[in-house]
Amino acid sequence: MTQPRASQTNAPRFKDTSRSPELLAIAAKLFYERGYSNVGMRLIAEGAGISVATLYYHFASKAEMLLQITLGVTKEFVDTLLPLLEGDTAMDERLSRLVCSHIERRWERRYWVSTALRELRQLDPEWRAQVDGYLRHYFHTVQAFIERGVAEGIFSVNNPHVATLALFDMIHGINDWFQPEGALSITEMAALYAEYSVHNLLGFRA
């Protein structure tokens, strides 16, 4: 609600001090647990054992912290997961590896990813567009892969575009209910969801 007073310079400083990754990790966890708008700079500073003023030495604003969390993890997903679709192995195997890795990585990085997806709207349009670019690139690459699989007769599903959306809906929802103490580990859950995605939803038959 409270609007930033000054310092609405258009470009983030990105000082990237040595402590900033540690501070971002603390902030991401708090944003995940309570929501970005319910976490004050006081609380982040407290969690890190520093003063608010010191926090402002490392980051120009609260919005810049959100941007760094959001942009960092989004870029990471594009850079580390999309390459799994390349290579010489069978297409269903490559897609399964992407789905499994996506689910596992999403769980490991849930403080960052959930914050990125939930709080994207709170970024300034210019910054938001940057993050959106990575998200769209990731989605469209997977969609094109699935469309190619359907064209080659490897997958069999109506409307590959919507099926890709359904696939992402499925694998993104896990984090809302997964309990690490439950019957299945995240690795087992990822394998089960990969079967649901590639086998059931997309209709791959060995």
| Residues between 96 and 135 that touch DNA (CB under 7 A) | none
- Binding of its own copies at residue 56 (CB under 8 A)? no
| Residues between 130 and 189 that touch DNA (CB under 7 A) | none
Q: For residues 21 and 35, which CB has a smaller minimum distance to its own copies in the complex?
A: 35
- Binding of its own copies at residue 163 (CB under 8 A)? yes
Binding-site string for its own copies from residue 9 to residue 48, where x marks contact by CB under 8 A and - marks none:
-------------------------xx-xx-x--------
Q: For residues 1 and 11, which CB has a smaller minimum distance to DNA in the complex?
A: 1
The one among 118, 128, 137, 148 contacting its own copies by CB under 8 A: 118
How does DSSP assign the chain, residue by residue?
-PPP-S---SS------TTHHHHHHHHHHHHHHH-GGG--HHHHHHHHTS-HHHHHHH-S-HHHHHHHHHHHHHHHHHHHHGGGG-SSS-HHHHHHHHHHHHHHHHHHTHHHHHHHHHSGGGS-HHHHHHHHHHHHHHHHHHHHHHHHHHHTTSS--S-HHHHHHHHHHHHHHGGGT--TTSSS-HHHHHHHHHIIIIIIIS----
Point out which residues bind its own copies (CB under 8 A): 1, 34-35, 37-38, 40, 118, 121-122, 157-159, 162-163, 165-166, 168-174, 176-177, 184, 189, 192-193, 195-196, 200-201, 203
